Amino acid sequence: MRFHIMTLFPEMVMQGLNTSIIGRAAEKELLSIEAVNIRDYTLDKHKKVDDYPYGGGAGMLMQAQPVYDTWKSIVDRVGYRPRTIYLTPQGTTFTQPMAKEFAKEKDLIFLCGHYEGIDERVLEEIVTDYVSIGDYVLTGGELPAMVMVDAISRMVPGVLNNEISGVTESFEGDLLEYPQYSRPEEWHGKCVPEVLLSGNQKKIDGWRREEAVRRTKERRLDMYLRYMELQECLEHLKKQKLLHMDMIELINRGQARLVYAKGTSICLQDKASGIYFHTAQTSEEGRSALQALCEDAKVNGEVESFVLHQDFMREIAAKMLDAKELMSCYQAVYTKKEKLPITGLYRLDGKKQDGVVKICPLNLEYLDIVTANYHTVDDTDYMKERIEKGWMFGAFIENELAGFAGMHTEGSIGMLEVLPQYRGRHIGKALETYMINLSLEHGMIPYGQVADGNEVSTRLQETLGLCFSKTMIYWMGKKL
Ligand code: SAM
């Protein structure tokens, strides 16, 4: 990821960003940051970059020419027009989902204003996003740019040492983070809550969840109310647990955004993938939820697929949304809490042993093999993203890749493939077992989706004791 910051104060930006985690990530070449001095591009012989606003008014304005030429020099260098963010108190307020979204870009250009702002004409030509960091006015855009670069960088794979912390902390889910304590056990007469010293992970998780709910209610009532609405949906969804496991897990994992809920008709959007999930008991209710989905998609504008949970909605959705069916699947859910035994399948410590499968996260070296062997999702960028996020795992025999499996963005286990020459050696079972146990370690309910008629996968899931939904779900695709 490459950040290009257009500023009148390059030293300020570079000094601020060259320290700590972001500095280290730049050193490791996970990202690069450059500050480009707008003053270097002015055609004025006195190096002036500002002038009085037409029509009068307080202060000076940055002129169009130096700003445009600075931007153009970056665009010429990178060879395309990257998203260009103007930091302004008049923009959309910056949020964690926006940080995540911006982190998908290869390059980002930031434009830091000064004085009273910038000539409107150049903004019209180069800016793609207007972003504010809050409802207050600062003297310049440098601090806001640094805030954004920091938040976006943390979303770039590999920047945080502990990848999980990026998933569990405040704003990632629907709740603020629980309180945390470190040594000593007692400080200023205050003791660390006993439960945290108990060693009982289940109790600790329960306590943390309660504290997170309490804290969110106290400090962010808006977030708490949204959370409670989702909890209500959860109650409805649990009435057909197996069928709705994808939606249930979206809520449990803090990935769900509520689009519509009325009676038993619910529409959620997965915040990570943008995919919509729809369920309804009657076609009339179902239509209303689809209508809400359509309107929501018009605002958010970039979603291509959605999932239906009832047969009778297929035709209605196809007509209403001009959509086509992509796939019909059964949900396969691992309903037990205990991990599966791994004896004889793979080494838990990941070490090599003759003839024994070693399972470990895949790196991009294996992208070509993965895309050449896995065809259900024909999207190299998606597979690349899954590998980069650390959610694709390979099974190795004698250092050769024998098969792979992973977790989809919306949370189902899948992308399981055993290379032809390694079939019949329980490698699929080893991979599936690994994914189930890994999900349990992360506090997730492991589930996958088995395409109608895929007998090999059905048998594997049955062997491992997964339960199947009675009816199917339907993946639909369309340009919304
Ligand atoms: N006259 C401008 C207005 O009312 O919108 C404010 C200009 S401000 C004094 C100077 C520069 O600081 C802006 O061009 C912008 O780049 C930056 N800035 C100030 N407050 C900001 C905020 N809350 N978020 C993002 N950028 C901000």
Pocket test for ligand 1, best of 8, 13, 114, 137 (most atoms within 8 A of CB): 137
Q: Which atom of ligand 1 is nearest to the CA of 90?
A: 5
What pLDDT is recorded for position 351?
A: 61
What per-residue confidence (pLDDT) applies to 166? 42
Helix (H, G, I), strand (E, B), or coil: what is residue 250? helix
Residue 358: left if φ>0, alpha if ψ -120 to 50, beta else—which one? Answer: beta
Quick check: CB of 123 below 6 Å from ligand 1? Answer: no
Give pLDDT tens digits along the chain (480 positions).
999 999 999 999 999 998 878 888 888 888 999 999 999 999 999 999 999 999 998 899 999 999 999 999 999 999 999 999 999 999 999 999 899 889 989 999 999 999 999 999 999 999 999 999 999 999 999 999 999 999 999 988 888 865 444 444 555 678 999 999 999 999 999 999 999 999 999 899 999 999 999 999 999 999 999 999 999 999 999 999 999 999 999 999 989 999 999 988 999 999 888 999 999 999 999 999 999 999 998 887 666 799 999 999 999 999 998 899 999 999 999 999 999 998 777 766 656 566 678 999 999 999 999 999 998 888 899 999 899 888 999 999 988 999 999 999 999 999 999 999 999 989 999 999 999 999 998 889 999 999 999 999 999 999 999 999 999 999 999 765
Sheet holding 83-93, edge to edge: 32-37, 2-7, 107-112, 83-93, 129-132
C-alpha Rg value of the chain to the nearest Å: 26
Taking the C-alpha atoms of residue 312 and residue 320, their distance in angstroms, rounded to an integer, is 13
Give the pair of three-digit tokens for residue 365. Answer: 């070296």
Backbone phi and psi for residue 117, each to the nearest 5 degrees, phi listed first: 125, -155
Task: Quickly list DSSP for 193-210.
Answer: PGGGGS--HHHHHHHHHH
Tokens of 383: 């597979």
The reply to whether ligand 1 has any atom less than 6 angstroms from the CB of 162 is: no
- Determine whether the shortest distance from the Cβ of 114 to ligand 1 is under 6 A: yes
pLDDT attached to residue 352: 57
- Ligand 1: distance of its center to the CA of 69 in Å? 21
Ligand 1 atom with minimal separation from the 133 CA: 24
Distance between CA atoms of residues 6 and 250, nearest Å:
39
Ligand 1 contacts CB of residue 61 (under 6 A): no
Q: Is the pTM of this model over 0.75?
A: yes
Question: How far apart are alpha carbons 200 and 205 in whole angstroms?
Answer: 9
Residue count of the chain, please give it. 480
Our answer on whether the CB atom of 112 is closer than 6 Å to any ligand 1 atom is yes
Compute the distance between CA of residue 150 and CA of residue 21 in angstroms, rounded to an integer: 9
- DSSP 3-state of 404: strand
User: 3-class DSSP state for residue 136?
Assistant: coil
- Residue 140 CA, closest ligand 1 atom number: 12
What pLDDT was estimated at residue 167? 44
In 22-160, at which residue ranges do the beta strands (DSSP E only) sit?
32-37, 50-51, 61-62, 83-93, 107-112, 129-132
Q: For residue 165, what pLDDT is reported? A: 42
pLDDT at res. 301? 65
The first and second tokens of residue 269, run together, are 């959007």
Whether the Cβ atoms of residue 221 and residue 227 lie closer than 8 Å to each other: no
